[in-house]
């Protein structure tokens, strides 16, 4: 019986030591919470603009450039210097300059990042960095930029939710307004 | 000189010699009173008693007066027998030949009568020491139901129990424990219902006790309990005769120890921790809600700080964004790591709880204001702790107060889940809970499975554990406790 008890404790310790959470310990205030990201096409690749929530629920932007989409997030982590919390990223903006292959690759990449939430909304805009820099369409002085824009999207008629994603895919937005309309009117992400 | 040195010794039959010997035993003890009496026809005797331990009226009227006023011849050689049968008015008189037995009785309030020319002495029941009296136990108050509680005198407690169970089936076996205290202990049970295994184990373990003194039932509990390192209680304690009677009716054994109002009951099952005295004195529907809440609060109390810690340090993605932002914001400026913050708050809560128990009742309100409001609010404002952690630990602490009988287990369980949750996240937290449940399910209380009712789940096994079924549904006794299964006959439907 004693040997069984020792064995059980040993097994528990071994099982717990293999726990990935051992290495993922971070205090809540020591991570950068990313609430939205925007990816634009740049001359030499892609630019990622991340909206970070800082102390007092204030937002700040962090931008990185990379020659490929899959290098954007690692570059962002490197630049930030402290752990990023992507799991609360509510919206992914993409530039209207994206073509189908860019978008497919981006979506595949995002889906492969286990820390990235599959419940994020996807929106299309002409320039993500400009949109994220905007202080919102509402007149509220402390408005949360992205959320405010989405909240007022219908009024502005720039962004409309038109569908939900299939299983294991990101829900998606497309713009129906002519100004923001993608070349292909509807994307079904498989 | 203690009893062991006097074992087997007898009186000489010479009054002077015997008195000198007894006085020598009580040397430097000014409580001993000796009254020498010359009876009629030249017969001499001496009364020995301890001042304050005897009822003087009983002593005077039942012993002194009859001896002094007796003026006939004492017939036969055995003086003590004659005095017992023809002179003393006392209801309870015993003949003693061994000195250690005489002293035991005398030390417990009896009056010892020794005679010249007789090696047999008499002990007369003249006990008259004061007791606290019957009052409601402060820790086991009920809204409805009986309000009497045990006293420090074992015989009075036995009488109270006997009044609840006026049946010859109730047995009370007398055992003495403690070399110097010679504590009187009664093993009580209902002979037709008792769990024989528990009774035999208890008797066997009591015999093994060899300690100087037993001043409370917990001495015995710790000495005989086989689960020495468990922080789960495996023996029940109560100060209420109605509870003891109810437990005896289920086949348990009670241990009444002189000098304490607390009575030990065994076997003790896990479900008993969640039973409240009030459950049986109010509507079963209300009682059921209360019991269910106790189970929920027990698990919440153990896991809440650990889960919160795991979420904010390892599983941030599981928290709603707005809540995470609030939690992270409130953590900014706090000098301690989250785990230290949690442990510190748990410790402060325990200090406040313990202090609340110890301080006079009149200071309780001041303490709650200082502890709850001043320290709580000030520590958040001073950024010593974060507000969400304070709320979580306070909620966990309050939930723990619902299950007072498991306060030790809750405290240690909480610490374990906090530590494991901090290092291993939710996985560690639940591994800790699983390990604790494994311990609970492996425990035994005096031969019975600690979680007997949960091992074979059926309505009858759960009727007084997780739920509190109405009395008309409680047809059987707990299976693991008594072989005499049925407690009431099933009524035929009209």
Closest CA in chain A for residue B320: A88
The answer to whether A87 faces chain B, any CB pair under 8 Å, is yes
- In this predicted structure, what is the pLDDT of residue A4? 77
Which tokens is A161 given? 């939710």
Helices (H), B142-256: 154-164, 196-208, 217-224, 241-248
Distances (CA, A) of A15 to A18, B89, B313, B438: 5, 78, 20, 17
Q: What is the pLDDT of residues B406-422, one digit of tens each?
A: 999 999 999 999 999 99
pLDDT value for B185: 92
pLDDT interval class at A21 (50, 70, 90): low
Model confidence at A160: pLDDT above 60: no
Contacts of A1 in chain B (CB under 8 A): none
Contact residues, chain A, for B308 at CB < 8 Å: none
Q: Does A117 touch chain B (CB under 8 A)?
A: yes
B426 CA: distance to closest CA in chain A (Å): 9
Q: Which residue of B has its CA nearest to A89?
A: B321
Of A8, A16, A88, which has the smallest distance from its Cβ to B324's Cβ? A88
Q: How confident is the model at residue B491 (pLDDT cuts 50, 70, 90)?
A: low
Minimal Cα–Cα distance from B412 to chain A, Å?
A: 18
Higher-confidence position of A185 and B177: B177
Band the pLDDT of B1: cuts 50, 70, 90.
Answer: low
Average pLDDT over every residue of B186-190 = 94
Q: Which DSSP symbol is given to B492?
A: P
Q: Kindly indicate the confidence band of residue A20, based on its pLDDT and cuts at 50, 70 and 90.
A: low
Token digits of residue B131: 């007791």
Residue A143 has pLDDT above 80, yes or no: no
What number is the average pLDDT over the span B364-387?
Answer: 82
Torsion sign, CA atoms B341, B346, B350, B356: positive
Question: What is the per-residue pLDDT for B187?
Answer: 94
- Per-chain mean pLDDT for chain A: 68
In chain A the domains, ranked by start, together with CATH numbers, are 26-180 (3.30.420.40)
Which of B316, B337, B420 is nearest residue A31 as measured by Cβ atoms? B316
For A22, which of B321, B334, B424 is closest by C-beta distance?
B424
The region of weakest confidence among B183-187, B243-247, B381-385 is B381-385
Q: Range with the lowest mean pLDDT among A53-67, B48-62, B210-224, B294-308? A: A53-67
Q: Is the pLDDT of residue B428 over 60?
A: yes
Residues of B in contact with A10 (CB under 8 A): none
Determine the distance in angstroms separating the CA of A27 from the nearest CA of chain B, rounded to an integer. Answer: 5
Say whether residue B323 is in contact with chain A using an 8 A CB cutoff: no
Residues of A with Cβ-Cβ distance to B325 under 8 angstroms: 33, 53, 57
For the cut 70, the answer to whether the pLDDT of residue B466 exceeds it is yes
- Residue A140, pLDDT > 90, answer no
Check A56 against B312: CB less than 8 A apart.
no
Flag whether residue A52 sits within 8 Å of chain B, measured between CB atoms: no
Q: Which residues of A touch B327 (CB under 8 A)?
A: 28
The tens digit of pLDDT for each residue in B135-162 reads 888 888 888 888 899 999 888 899 999 9
Residue B60 structure tokens? 């005077």
Predicted local confidence at residue B306, as pLDDT: 96
User: Are B428 and A25 a contacting pair at CB < 8 A?
Assistant: no
Contacts of the segment B323-330: beta carbons below 8 A, 24+ positions apart: B324/A28, B324/A33, B324/A88, B325/A33, B325/A53, B325/A57, B326/B388, B327/A28, B327/B386, B327/B388, B328/A28, B328/A29, B328/A31, B328/A33, B329/A29, B329/A55, B329/A56, B329/A57, B330/B380, B330/B386, B330/B387, B330/B388
Cα-trace Rg, chain A:
20
pLDDT value of residue B347: 92
Is residue A187 scored above 70 in pLDDT? no
DSSP B84: I
- Test B424 with A56 for CB contact under 8 angstroms: no
What distance in Å separates the CA atoms of residue A173 and residue A132, rounded to the nearest whole number?
Answer: 17
Look at residue A165 in the predicted model and tell me its pLDDT: 34
Say whether residue B237 is in contact with chain A using an 8 A CB cutoff.
no
Q: Where are the alpha helices (DSSP H) in B84-178?
A: 99-107, 154-164
Q: Output the pLDDT for position B457.
A: 75
- Lowest model confidence (mean pLDDT) among A118-127, A148-157, B56-65, B305-314: A148-157
In this prediction, residue A174 carries a pLDDT of 41
Is there a contact between A28 and B431 if contact means CB atoms under 8 Å apart? no
Q: Please tell me the predicted confidence (pLDDT) of residue A1.
A: 67
Q: Which of residues 382 through 401 in chain B touch A, CB cutoff 8 A? A: none
Which pLDDT band holds residue A134 (cuts at 50, 70, 90)? low
> Which of B222, B228, B230 minimizes the C-alpha distance to B408?
B230
CA-angle at B172, arms to B168 and B175, nearest 5°: 160
Q: What is the mean pLDDT of residues B262-281?
A: 90
Instruction: Name the band, by pLDDT with cuts 50, 70 and 90, for residue B493.
Output: low
Confidence (pLDDT) at A144: 29
In B86-193, which ranges are E strands?
Answer: 93-96, 111-115, 121-124, 170-177, 183-190
Residue A89: predicted pLDDT:
86
A1–chain B Cβ distance below 8 A for any pair:
no
Best residue in B422, B427, B434, B437 to probe A by mutation, most A CBs within 10 Å? B427
User: E strand or H helix at B348, and its extent?
Assistant: helix B338-358
Any CB–CB contact under 8 A between A22 and chain B?
yes
pLDDT top residue among B289 and A2: B289
B439 close contact with A: CB closer than 8 A = no
Check pLDDT > 60 for residue A152. no
CA distance B38 to B356: 61
SS3 B322: helix
Q: Which residue has the tokens 């909206």?
A: A51
Chain A residues with beta carbon closer than 8 angstroms to that of B317:
85, 87-88, 115, 117
For residue A141, name the pLDDT band (cuts at 50, 70, 90).
very low
Q: Of B314, B422, B438, which has the smallest distance from its Cβ to A24's Cβ?
A: B314
Listed ranges B57-61, B134-138, B304-308, B478-482; the one with the highest mean pLDDT: B304-308
Per-residue pLDDT tens digits for B299-340 = 999 999 999 999 999 988 889 888 998 999 999 889 999 999
Whether B393 shows a pLDDT value over 90: the answer reads yes
Instruction: Check A28 against B422: CB less than 8 A apart.
Output: no
Q: Which of A161-170, B270-279, B298-307, B351-360 has the lowest mean pLDDT?
A: A161-170
Which of A10, A12, A16, A21 to probe the B interface (max B CBs under 10 A)? Answer: A21
Contacts with B328 from chain A: Cβ below 8 Å: 28-29, 31, 33
Q: Which phi and psi angles does A121 have, rounded to 5°?
A: -90, 150
Q: How does residue B494 score in pLDDT terms, banded at 50, 70 and 90?
A: low
Nearest Cα of chain B lies from the Cα of A44 at a distance, in angstroms, of: 33
Whether residues A31 and B328 touch (CB distance < 8 A) is answered with yes
Question: Any idea which of A154-163, B10-19, B144-153, B432-441 has the lowest mean pLDDT?
Answer: A154-163
Predicted local distance difference test score (pLDDT) of residue B173: 92
- Tell me the ipTM for this assembly: 0.71
What's the rounded mean pLDDT across residues A76-96?
85
This prediction's pTM: 0.80
Share of chain A above pLDDT 70, in %: 64
Q: What is the pLDDT of residue A135?
A: 55
Q: Is A53 on the interface with B (CB under 8 A)?
A: yes
Nearest to B424 among A21, A115, A117 (CB): A21
Summarize the confidence of residues B378-403 as an average pLDDT.
Answer: 91
* Percent of chain B with pLDDT strictly greater than 90: 36
Q: What is the pLDDT of residue A176?
A: 38
End-to-end Cα, chain B, rounded Å: 72
């Amino acid at each position: 019986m004693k040997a069984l008890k020792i064995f059980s404790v040993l097994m528990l310790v071994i099982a717990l030591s293999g726990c990935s959470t051992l290495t993922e310990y971070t205090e809540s205030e020591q991570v950068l919470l990313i609430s939205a990201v925007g990816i634009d096409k740049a001359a030499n690749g892609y630019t990622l603009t991340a909206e970070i929530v800082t102390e007092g629920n204030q937002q700040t932007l962090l931008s990185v450039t990379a020659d490929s989409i899959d290098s954007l997030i690692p570059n962002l982590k490197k630049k930030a210097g402290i752990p990023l919390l992507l799991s609360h990223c509510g919206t992914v903006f993409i530039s209207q300059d994206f073509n189908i292959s860019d978008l497919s690759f981006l979506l595949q990449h995002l889906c492969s990042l286990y820390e990235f939430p599959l419940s994020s909304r996807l929106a299309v805009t002409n320039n993500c960095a400009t949109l994220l820099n905007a202080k919102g369409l509402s007149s509220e002085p402390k408005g949360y930029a992205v959320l405010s824009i989405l909240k007022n999207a219908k009024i502005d008629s720039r962004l409309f939710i038109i569908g939900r994603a299939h299983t294991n895919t990101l829900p998606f937005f497309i713009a129906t307004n002519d100004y923001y309309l993608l070349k292909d009117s509807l994307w079904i992400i498989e | 000189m203690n009893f062991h040195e006097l074992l087997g010794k007898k009186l000489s039959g010479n009054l002077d010699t015997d008195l000198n010997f007894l006085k020598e035993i009580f040397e430097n003890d000014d409580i001993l009173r000796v009254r020498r009496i010359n009876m009629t026809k030249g017969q001499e005797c001496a009364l020995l008693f301890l001042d304050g331990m005897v009822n003087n009226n009983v002593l005077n009227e039942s012993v002194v007066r009859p001896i002094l006023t007796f003026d006939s011849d004492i017939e036969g050689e055995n003086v003590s027998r004659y005095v017992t049968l023809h002179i003393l008015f006392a209801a309870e008189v015993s003949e003693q030949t061994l000195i250690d037995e005489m002293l035991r009785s005398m030390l417990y309030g009896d009056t010892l009568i020794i005679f010249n020319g007789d090696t047999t002495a008499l002990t007369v029941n003249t006990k008259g020491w004061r007791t606290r009296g019957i009052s409601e136990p402060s820790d086991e108050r009920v809204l409805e139901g009986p309000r009497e509680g045990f006293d420090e005198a074992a015989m009075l407690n036995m009488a109270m129990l006997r009044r609840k169970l006026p049946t010859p089936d109730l047995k009370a076996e007398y055992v003495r424990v403690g070399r110097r205290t010679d504590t009187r202990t009664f093993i009580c049970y209902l002979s037709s219902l008792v769990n024989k295994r528990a009774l035999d184990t208890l008797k066997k373990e009591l015999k093994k006790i060899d300690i100087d003194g037993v001043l409370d039932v917990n001495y015995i509990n710790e000495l005989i309990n086989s689960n020495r390192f468990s922080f789960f209680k495996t023996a029940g304690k109560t100060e209420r005769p109605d509870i003891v009677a109810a437990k005896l009716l289920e086949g348990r054994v009670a241990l009444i120890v002189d000098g304490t109002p607390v009575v030990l009951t065994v076997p003790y099952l896990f479900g008993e921790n969640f039973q409240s005295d009030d459950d049986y004195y109010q509507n079963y529907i209300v009682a059921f809600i209360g019991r269910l809440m106790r189970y929920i609060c027990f698990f919440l109390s153990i896991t809440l700080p650990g889960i919160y810690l795991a979420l904010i340090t390892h599983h941030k993605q599981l928290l709603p964004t707005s809540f995470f932002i609030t939690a992270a914001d409130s953590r900014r400026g706090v000098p301690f790591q989250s785990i230290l913050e949690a442990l510190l708050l748990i410790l402060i809560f325990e200090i406040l709880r313990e202090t609340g128990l110890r301080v006079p009742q009149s200071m309780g309100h001041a303490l709650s204001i200082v502890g709850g409001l001043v320290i709580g609010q000030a520590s958040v404002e001073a950024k010593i702790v974060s507000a969400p952690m304070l709320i979580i630990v306070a909620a966990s602490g309050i939930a723990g107060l619902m299950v007072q009988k498991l306060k030790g287990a809750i405290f240690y369980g909480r610490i374990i889940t906090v530590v494991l949750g901090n290092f291993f996240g939710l996985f560690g937290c639940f591994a800790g809970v699983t390990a604790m449940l494994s311990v609970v399910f492996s425990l035994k209380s005096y031969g019975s499975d600690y979680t007997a009712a949960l091992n074979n789940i059926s309505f009858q096994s759960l009727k007084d554990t997780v739920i509190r079924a109405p009395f008309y549904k409680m047809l059987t006794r707990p299976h693991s406790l008594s072989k005499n299964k049925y407690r009431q006959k099933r009524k035929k439907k009209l």
